[in-house]
Amino acid sequence: MSIEVGSVVEGVVTGITNFGAFVELPGGKVGLVHISEVADVYVKDVKDFLKEKDKVKVKVLTVDERGKIGLSIKQLQENKPAEHQQNQQTQKSASSSYHPAPRRAPNNDFRRPNRYIAPSFEDKLTKFLKDSDERLTDLRKNTDSKRGGRGGSRRSE
């Protein structure tokens, strides 16, 4: 069977690493599902989602000239929640006159909450210069006091 980009095939997980999972495809070829393509959520450990000898459906993303095959499980899962949500909406509207409030688009940027506003470059630079001047002043005071104290306490015999 020829493996082409965009095709959906079923395979068996043969190995799990910290960067992804190797999947044996029909015809004995092996492809890699990168950790970023395992699930629609943040994946810290691939073993939380997959085990060896699991049968999985994967989408072929890339096939390079050396025979390396890039696979994705996530891209197949993304379609299912949208269809599932759409089916639920039609069932709700058909069963009652209840109309839920429109949903906001989810904030997929988990690193920064919506209410946080990053300081501008000028603000960062001003803070750095202020901190730097304070440290330099402290350093000068410390070294000046050492110089003055050492020179006066020496005795000549």
> pLDDT at position 22, please?
94
Q: What is the pLDDT of residue 122?
A: 86
Element (H, E) at 21: strand 20-24
Q: Does 148 map to a domain? A: no
Residue pLDDT tens, the chain, 157 long: 578 888 899 999 999 999 999 999 988 899 999 999 998 899 889 999 999 999 999 999 999 888 899 999 998 876 555 554 555 555 544 444 444 555 555 555 555 555 557 788 888 889 999 999 899 888 888 888 777 655 555 555 5
For residue 135, tell me if it sits in a domain: no
User: CATH number for the domain including 38?
Assistant: 2.40.50.140
pLDDT at 115: 59
119 found inside a domain: no
Closest among 105, 57, 54 to 77, alpha carbons compared = 57
φ and ψ at residue 134, rounded to 5 degrees:
-65, -45
In a domain, 157, yes or no: no
Is 26 inside a domain boundary? yes
In a domain, 83, yes or no: no
142 in any annotated domain: no
Check residue 80 and give its pLDDT. 54
pTM confidence score: 0.49
Count structural domains, the chain. 1
In the prediction, which pLDDT does 86 show? 53
Q: What is the pLDDT of residue 149?
A: 54
Distances in Å between the Cα of 33 and the Cα atoms of 12, 13, 25, 62, 75 are 12, 10, 12, 11, 11
Chain-centroid distance of CA 92 in Å reads: 34
Domain of 48? 8-77
Nearest residue to 42 (alpha-carbon basis) of 76, 84, 74, 12: 74
Structure tokens at 41: 């959520």
8-17 vs 20-24, strand pairing mode: antiparallel
